[in-house]
C-alpha cells in the first residue's frame, strides 16, 4: 500500500506560528525529515515511534544532499509510510519544495503541500516593519540574495530598484555589499532605509537598521550573520514606532526580575 508525503511549512521559528494542519501532519507522521531552521520544539509533537531524520543545510555545507532527501521521501512513501517533510518558512518559497514535489509527482507518490508563514513576512513583522502600507508601499517582492554556484546573476536589478516598494531578500548576508551596490547602481537612493532581522520571531531576535550606503558596515560591526532577512524600503522607518516584539521581551524580562526578587 502506497504511503503519502506532506510538504509542510514550519514557519519562521516561533513554534506557535505552525498552522493547525501542519501540526496535524507532524502528529500523524511515521517519518519526519526536518531542516536546520525548524524549531525542535515542534518535533516533540511527533509520535514516540516516529523516525526523525535530520536534513539540515548550512551555507556552503549540506548535511544531506537534495538528491538524497528526494530519494528518502520516495523510499519511505513506497513502504506505505506517512512522511512529513518539515521545512522552515514555506516549502515553496526558496525551500526547494518545488523540486521535491516534482520528484514525488514523477514517482507517482501522493503528496500535499501545507503552506507555512514565510520569513519574508514574519521576520519584518516581528521587527515592527509592515512590508506593505497604504501610504508608503503598495508593492512587495521576495528575492534570493544567494546565487546557485556557477550561475550568473539573473536578477533584474533595474526593475527591483525602480519598480518595487519593499524588497525582502533571503539568504543575502554574505552578498550584502553586492546587493546594496546593485540597487544603488540601478537607481535606488543611497538613503533608502534597510533592516536586517536575525533569528526572526525567536527570543534571540536581533534587528539592525541603516541605509543602502551604511548597512554593510553596521552589519559587520554588529556581527549579524545568517539566518537573517534583509528588508529594503521606506517601510523600515516605521520600526521605531512599531517594534512591539522587543517591547514584549523587555516586559517579560522585567517581570522575571520582579519574580526573582520576590
> 215-222 and 176-185 helices cross at what angle (nearest 10)?
170
Could you tell me if 242 and 128 are in contact, meaning their C-beta atoms sit under 8 angstroms apart?
yes
Catalytic residue flag (residue 257):
no
Side-chain half-sphere of 28: how many Cα atoms within 13 Å?
12
Catalytic residue flag (residue 30):
no
Catalytic residue among 57, 181, 213, 243: 57
Catalytic residue among 14, 30, 90, 171: 171
Catalytic residue flag (residue 35):
yes
Q: Which residues touch 83 (CB under 8 Å, ≥6 apart)?
A: 3, 4, 5, 6, 29, 30, 31, 32, 33, 73, 76, 77
Query: How far, rounded to the nearest angstrom, does the alpha carbon of residue 21 sit from its chain's CA centroid?
Result: 19
Q: Which of 52, 73, 55 is nearest to 65 (CA)?
A: 55
Catalytic residue among 14, 30, 35, 90: 35
Mind telling me the catalytic residues?
Answer: 35, 57, 171
Amino acid at each position: 500500500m502506497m504511503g503519502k508525503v506532506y510538504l509542510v511549512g514550519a514557519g519562521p521559528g516561533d513554534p506557535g506560528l505552525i498552522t493547525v494542519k501542519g501540526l496535524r501532519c507532524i502528529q500523524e507522521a511515521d517519518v519526519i525529515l526536518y531542516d536546520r531552521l525548524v524549531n525542535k520544539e515542534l518535533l516533540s509533537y511527533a509520535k514516540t515511534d516516529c523516525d526523525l531524520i535530520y536534513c539540515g543545510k548550512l551555507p556552503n555545507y549540506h548535511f544531506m544532499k537534495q538528491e538524497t532527501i528526494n530519494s528518502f521521501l520516495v523510499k519511505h512513501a513506497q513502504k506505505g509510510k506517512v512522511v512529513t517533510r518539515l521545512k522552515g518558512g514555506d516549502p515553496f518559497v526558496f525551500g526547494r519544495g518545488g523540486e521535491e514535489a516534482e520528484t514525488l509527482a514523477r514517482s507517482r507518490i501522493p503528496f500535499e503541500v501545507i503552506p507555512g508563514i514565510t520569513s519574508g513576512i514574519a521576520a519584518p513583522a516581528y521587527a515592527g516593519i509592515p512590508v506593505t502600507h497604504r501610504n508608503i508601499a503598495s508593492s512587495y517582492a521576495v528575492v534570493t540574495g544567494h546565487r546557485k554556484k556557477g550561475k550568473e546573476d539573473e536578477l533584474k536589478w533595474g526593475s527591483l530598484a525602480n519598480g518595487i516598494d519593499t524588497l525582502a531578500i533571503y539568504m543575502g548576508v554574505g552578498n550584502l555589499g553586492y546587493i546594496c551596490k546593485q540597487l544603488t547602481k540601478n537607481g535606488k537612493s543611497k538613503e533608502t532605509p534597510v533592516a536586517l532581522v536575525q533569528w526572526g520571531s525567536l527570543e534571540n531576535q536581533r534587528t539592525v537598521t541603516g541605509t543602502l550606503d551604511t548597512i554593510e558596515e553596521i552589519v559587520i560591526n554588529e556581527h549579524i550573520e545568517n539566518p537573517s532577512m534583509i528588508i529594503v524600503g521606506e517601510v523600515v522607518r516605521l520600526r521605531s514606532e512599531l517594534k512591539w516584539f522587543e517591547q514584549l521581551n523587555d516586559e517579560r524580562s522585567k517581570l522575571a526580575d520582579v519574580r526573582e526578587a520576590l
